[in-house]
Amino acid sequence: MTEPLITTPLRERAAQALGDRFLHEALDIATTRFIALRRDAFGDFPEGEALRDRARAIKEATLQRLDAHLETLVANIERLGGHVHFATTAEEAREIVLDIARRTGARMAVKSKSMATEEIHLNDALQAIGVTPVETDLGEYIIQLAHERPSHIIAPAIHKTKGQVAELFSRELRRPGLPADPEVLTKIAREELRQKFLTADLGITGANFAVADTGTVVLVTNEGNGRMVTSLPRVHVAVMGVEKVIPSMTDLAVFLAILAKSATGQKLSVYTTLVQGPRRPGELEGPDEFHLVLLDNGRVAQLAGPLRESLYCLRCGACLNVCPVYRQIGGHAYGYTYPGPIGILLTAMLNGPASVRDLSHASSLCGACADACPVRIDIPRMLIELRREVNVRGIAPRSERIVFKALARLLRSPTLYRLAARIGRAAQRPFVSDGRIRALPSFFGEWTKTRDLPSIAARTFQERWRDLS
Amino acid sequence: MSVSAAAGATPRVALMITCLADMFYPEVGERIVRLLRRLGVEVTLPTGQTCCGLPLFNSGYHDEAAAVAARTVTIFRDAEAVIVPSGSCAWMVKHEYPGLLRGRAEAADAERLAARTWEFSQFLVRRLGRTTFESDVEGPLAYHDSCHLLRGLHEGATPRTLLNNLSGAAVVPLPGSDECCGFGGSFSVRLPEVSTSILERKLANLEASGARCLVACDAGCLMQIRGGLARRNSPLRALHLAEVLKS
Amino acid sequence: MTSHKLGPDDGASSSRRAGARTTKAEFLARVRGEMAKTPGLFVAAPAERPAQPRQRLELLRRELSERWPQTLERFRAEFERVAGVFHRVPTASAVPAALERICRERGARRVVSWPSEELGVALAPVLGAAGIAVESMPRDVPPDAERLRIRAVIADADVGVTGADLAVAETGTLVLVAAAGRPRSTSLLPPCHVAIFDRTVLVESLEQVGLALEAWHEGPAPPERGAVINFITGPSRTADIELTLTRGVHGPKEIHALFVDGGLGLHG
């Protein structure tokens, strides 16, 4: 297990999120905007569909020779003077980073946005050994000050109002009375963080890609913090899932053409930073040490597992933006590091099937996610597979399994089916008025609390057929 | 793919009525039968139908879904063409039956059934080449794309062709027409608050469209949307496409 | 088809004694073990790499030199679309005056820049005369104390002046390869970044950028090359607070592209 199992039912967490009026509005505005931006970007980009197919093929092909590409990547990074570490588990990855911090005498680490480091809960571990981690991506900086976790893969503070951010900054940064003005607040963050960049001992990032052929680690950012973190401190550590490796620079160009468009509708993010080891002898600036931590943490097992396709994920967030469930409940309600449709699959990958007992059903299987995914990951198919796993392993509640097995028996027998219609017709009588049912007991009440139900017809279609012939 | 009936031969279709239409919306089935007969199509109803098995499949009960699929495949074995009034059931048969029944005795029949199955609007437009109908429903009408028809069967055109060519009713666009209604089968009762919240968004879009009637090609969507409209005592209606085409 | 593959495989680490780290061999053995269990999901190939990228790039440059005005126009449009400021001067000798104007408009008094051999233009005389201090970055690496001083100078500068190795029309992107005399933060720390370039670095598309990257990595890297390549597409920005766009978060708030019609005489 990477993360502790969440015991409060998803339904409760979802209901709580639904009750948060500001969150509701913020999610609506943000997701609607991202959807429009993405649609416009691809609308203007006829080569986009072919590139998506190519990108998907590159990801699949890479997995088919993953060992060779990893070997090549390691050899090239070492040739450039960098170090590569291998972490089978989240704990091991944390230990590797802590060791580097201890050995280099780091007191403060600046971090560029990295879901991989969230996944392994690195910040708490750093804090525990006396190394202060400072998030520098504005959204991450905000939630770090608020002691919260990100609620969206690319826009972590989407759930906060500017008023809440102003209040937070005023309190945590001891600058009372700050206005709820994003320009002012951003400027303050810039000032506060500029000092940190210039004095930090250690820079920690994730990586969007690692190009095997050239030993290049690629960071895609908009703010410039990725560049600061990888150039100013004397040590740079990048933590990266093994599935992010790609074979060549030519492949990189394919992904760059679709990644930012999928995430924010931009043709490219403001900064794409290609890091090739520590600084060269002739360079004035740059880290003296470069480390890449290759992270397994459940990924390798999926090469031959049911979630293999989720290893193609570029972490763009497009699936979150279009998901009817995410759009209503936001990221925190999911409970784990990764929210949204892909997040459910990643949660299962990292934490096992028990963690998705409820989450695998946090979907109407509408398929909008698969449509939006730049590498065409068939998320609904894998959600159904997870539901199957949950049943087969006896994780689903026994009462539910009984109901579905009974349903299955009923649907295999036309006699039982007809009997069920007759029984239903009789049983519904006390509840029907004007052909509508407004309230039902127990399980059926879950529907009728908010919606009317049609009554079972006096004669089913099959019963009427003789009259139609 | 547009093949009209061979000259002189009367097309025959078998109707897969679907469990929801059978139990709750038999009038939709009746309208479909009358409409097809008026178009010169012979309609049969293989007996002993229950369900396509989608609810079992979506909840991860695949062995059970396969057993139901095997039965359905057998019931429809002799049909030349099968039409289905729900996009989700049509998708189940066309997309999932072959995989579910691979390696079993029914495998070949499943492939054949998948190839011969049509969703209702697809059958009218693509198979029969019929696009113009009259309507006596009070418009304006707005079309809601059900997820399995739109994304599963890649069909957004045939229902719109039929609606846009209707004489007797205006059609307006539905904002967010491709957004889910929140039904999702058991999802609607597993996470009812979320399902309702999603529905509320759909209903708000419907109100904003200025339509008097939403049209859909899926019984699940209709159950959800009608359920919401009725609970609000809304004057707006939600109808199946077959209820809008005058038979 | 039952599956038991979900969650981290505790079998992998339980066989190891506590505290011992996964070796490369162990890690790759595990990857190979899993790979062996499946052929994959479908037949797939990575992108086709060009056989002789340096040669292909040279050919491309010659082709592009015939249609550079259209490429430049497209670059300008895209650059401005991402809030870049585009300038154009007829010759290299007109560059210092243009830069002086940019500085004056912003009340900028301190400039850091790549050395003139890297830019193709000498800035100090004209700017110095206008009372604007220009610190040119050293090509050799000085001792640490001096490096720290230079870092502080860059951090305090108002404008950072660089060249560009590529200007990409499709996206309005400038590509800068770090190297001796080209410290990374000249285009990062000052609030205003000015990049001076000519037609020889124009390319049309990201696909062509991929070719350039392949070409640059064919054979050993030249000794003066640095360890980072930066793609810059507009000024630093964020929309993390209520989706309101603000510029100049950590990186520069402004980026200027200064095109020299007559060329800078840098590339053969």
Q: What digits encode the pLDDT tens for the residues A267-312? A: 999 999 999 999 999 899 999 999 999 999 999 999 999 999 999 9
**Does residue C245 sit within a domain?**
yes
Domain count, chain C: 1
B29–A364 C-beta distance less than 8 A: no
Whether residue A347 is found in the same domain as residue A435: no
**Measured between alpha carbons, how far is C166 from C157 in angstroms, rounded to an integer?**
25
A453–B61 C-beta distance less than 8 A: no
β-pair type (B42-44, B12-15) = parallel
Of A366, A373, A463, which to mutate for an interface test with B (greatest number of B Cβ within 10 Å)? A366
Whether residue B183 is found in the same domain as residue B99: no
Whether residue B16 is found in the same domain as residue B116: yes
Whether residue A408 is found in the same domain as residue A382: no
Contact residues, chain A, for C12 at CB < 8 Å:
88-89, 296
Whether residue A292 is found in the same domain as residue A411: no
Mind telling me how many Å the CA of A59 is from chain C's nearest CA?
A: 8
**Does residue B136 sit within a domain?**
no
Q: Across the interface, which of A54, A162, A242 has its CB nearest the CB of C242?
A: A162
Q: Across the interface, which of B45, B178, B197 has its CB nearest the CB of A465?
A: B45
List, for residues C102-153, the tens digit of each pLDDT value: 999 999 999 999 999 999 999 999 999 999 999 999 999 999 999 999 999 9
**Does residue C7 sit within a domain?**
no
Of A329, A462, A464, A469, which to mutate for an interface test with B (greatest number of B Cβ within 10 Å)? A462
List, for residues C18-61, the tens digit of each pLDDT value: 568 999 999 999 999 999 999 999 999 999 999 999 999 999 99
Contact residues, chain B, for A361 at CB < 8 Å:
59, 186-187, 190-191
**Measured between alpha carbons, how far is A256 from A221 in angstroms, rounded to an integer?**
12
B60–A411 C-beta distance less than 8 A: no
**Does residue C110 sit within a domain?**
yes
**Does residue C267 sit within a domain?**
no
C-alpha atoms less than 13 angstroms from C-alpha of A76 in its C-beta half-sphere: 24
Whether residue A375 is found in the same domain as residue A444: no
pLDDT at position C3 over 70: no
List, for residues A347-362, the tens digit of each pLDDT value: 999 999 999 999 999 9
Which chain C residue has its CA at the smallest distance from A72's CA? C28
Whether residue B62 is found in the same domain as residue B86: yes
Last residue of some domain: A396, A424, A448? A396
Whether residue B114 is found in the same domain as residue B171: no
DSSP-assigned beta bridge partners for residue A354: none
Question: Considering chain B, what percentage of its residues have pLDDT values greater than 70?
Answer: 96
Domain count, chain A: 3
Domain limits for position A155: 45-297
**Measured between alpha carbons, how far is A378 from A53 in angstroms, rounded to an integer?**
13
Question: Considering chain A, what percentage of its residues have pLDDT values greater than 70?
Answer: 99
Last residue of some domain: B127, B149, B171? B127
For residue A86, the domain's CATH number is: 3.40.50.10420
B194–A18 C-beta distance less than 8 A: yes
pLDDT at position C188 over 60: yes
Domain count, chain B: 2
Starting at the edge strand that comes first in sequence, how are the strands of the sheet with A209-211 ordered? A245-246, A209-211, A216-221, A271-275, C225-232, C173-179, C166-168, C202-203
Note the pLDDT of residue A439.
80
Q: Is A328 on the interface with B (CB under 8 A)?
A: yes
Kindly give the confidence (pLDDT) of every residue in chain A, 469 residues in length, as a single tens digit, with 9 standing for 90 and above: 578 888 899 999 999 999 999 899 989 999 999 999 999 999 999 999 999 999 999 999 999 999 999 999 999 999 999 999 999 999 999 999 999 999 999 999 999 999 999 999 999 999 999 999 999 999 999 999 999 988 888 889 988 989 999 999 999 999 999 999 999 999 999 999 999 999 999 999 999 999 999 999 999 999 999 999 999 999 999 999 999 999 999 999 999 999 999 999 999 999 999 999 999 998 999 999 999 999 999 999 999 999 999 999 999 999 999 999 999 999 999 999 999 999 999 999 999 999 999 999 999 999 999 999 999 999 999 999 999 999 999 999 999 999 999 999 999 999 999 999 999 999 888 888 887 888 877 667 899 999 999 999 999 999 999 998 7
Note the pLDDT of residue C18.
59
Whether residue B145 is found in the same domain as residue B121: no
Whether residue B21 is found in the same domain as residue B100: yes
Could you tell me the sign of the dihedral formed by the alpha carbons of C24, C25, C26, C27, in that order? Answer: positive
pLDDT at position C14 over 60: no
Chain C neighbours (≥3 Cβ pairs under 8 A) are A
A·C CB contacts under 8 A: 336
Whether residue A287 is found in the same domain as residue A413: no
Q: Are B83 and B16 in contact (CB under 8 A)?
A: yes
Q: Which of A207, A225, A216, A2 is nearest to A109 (CA)?
A: A225
Note the pLDDT of residue C10.
46
| A330: alpha, beta or left? (left if phi > 0; alpha if psi -120 to 50) | left
Average of per-residue pLDDT values in chain B: 95
Average of per-residue pLDDT values in chain C: 93
Whether residue B28 is found in the same domain as residue B73: yes
Last residue of some domain: A242, A267, A297? A297
**Does residue A27 sit within a domain?**
no
Average pLDDT over residues B204-210: 98
Which chain A residue has its CA at the smallest distance from B183's CA? A364
Contact residues, chain A, for C136 at CB < 8 Å:
none
List, for residues B153-200, the tens digit of each pLDDT value: 999 999 999 999 999 899 999 999 999 999 999 999 999 999 999 999
**Does residue B230 sit within a domain?**
yes
Last residue of some domain: B127, B152, B181? B127
Whether residue B217 is found in the same domain as residue B169: yes
Last residue of some domain: A372, A396, A420? A396
Note the pLDDT of residue C5.
62
Helices (H), B117-218: 120-122, 147, 157-164, 187-190, 192-209
**Measured between alpha carbons, how far is A124 from A337 in angstroms, rounded to an integer?**
14
Contact residues, chain A, for B205 at CB < 8 Å:
none
Note the pLDDT of residue A1.
57
Residues 181-220 of C with CB under 8 A from A: 181, 183-185, 188, 206-207, 209-211, 213-214, 217
Whether residue A334 is found in the same domain as residue A242: no
Domain limits for position C57: 53-260
DSSP-assigned beta bridge partners for residue C86: C257
pLDDT at position B5 over 50: no
pLDDT at position C221 over 70: yes
Whether residue A179 is found in the same domain as residue A83: yes
Which chain A residue has its CA at the smallest distance from C51's CA? A250
A282–C141 C-beta distance less than 8 A: yes
Greater model confidence, C1 or A97: A97
Whether residue B169 is found in the same domain as residue B205: yes
Average pLDDT over residues C222-246: 94
For residue B68, the domain's CATH number is: 3.40.50
For residue C253, the domain's CATH number is: 3.40.50.10420
Q: Is A250 on the interface with B (CB under 8 A)?
A: no
C170–A190 C-beta distance less than 8 A: no
**Does residue A34 sit within a domain?**
no
Q: Across the interface, which of A224, A242, A257 has its CB nearest the CB of C188?
A: A224
**Does residue B107 sit within a domain?**
yes
Last residue of some domain: B127, B149, B164? B127
**Does residue A32 sit within a domain?**
no
A·B CB contacts under 8 A: 182
**Does residue A455 sit within a domain?**
yes
Which chain B residue has its CA at the smallest distance from A411's CA? B50
Note the pLDDT of residue A7.
86
SS (H, E, C) chain A: CCCCCCCCCHHHHHHHHHCCHHHHHHHHHHHHHHHHHHHHHHHCCCCHHHHHHHHHHHHHHHHHCHHHHHHHHHHHHHHCCCEEEEECCHHHHHHHHHHHHHHCCCCEEEECCCHHHHHCCHHHHHHHCCCEEEECCHHHHHHHHCCCCCCCCCCCCCCCCHHHHHHHHHHHCCCCCCCCCHHHHHHHHHHHHHHHHHHCCEEEECCCEEEHHHCEEEEEECCCHHHHHHHCCCEEEEEEEHHHEECCHHHHHHHHHHHHHHHCCCCCCCEEEEECCCCCCCCCCCCCEEEEEEECCCCHHHHHCCCHHHHHCCCCCHHHHHCHHHHHHCCHHHCCCCCHHHHHHHHHHHHCHHHHCCHHHCCCCCCHHHHHCCCCCCHHHHHHHHHHHHHHCCCCCHHHHHHHHHHHHHHHCHHHHHHHHHHHHHHHHHHEECCEECCCCHHHHHHHCCCCEECCCCCCHHHHHHHHC
Whether residue A192 is found in the same domain as residue A67: yes
Residues 331-370 of A with CB under 8 A from B: 360-368, 370
Domain limits for position B208: 141-244
Whether residue A93 is found in the same domain as residue A175: yes
Note the pLDDT of residue B8.
53
Whether residue B123 is found in the same domain as residue B145: no
Average pLDDT over residues B214-226: 98
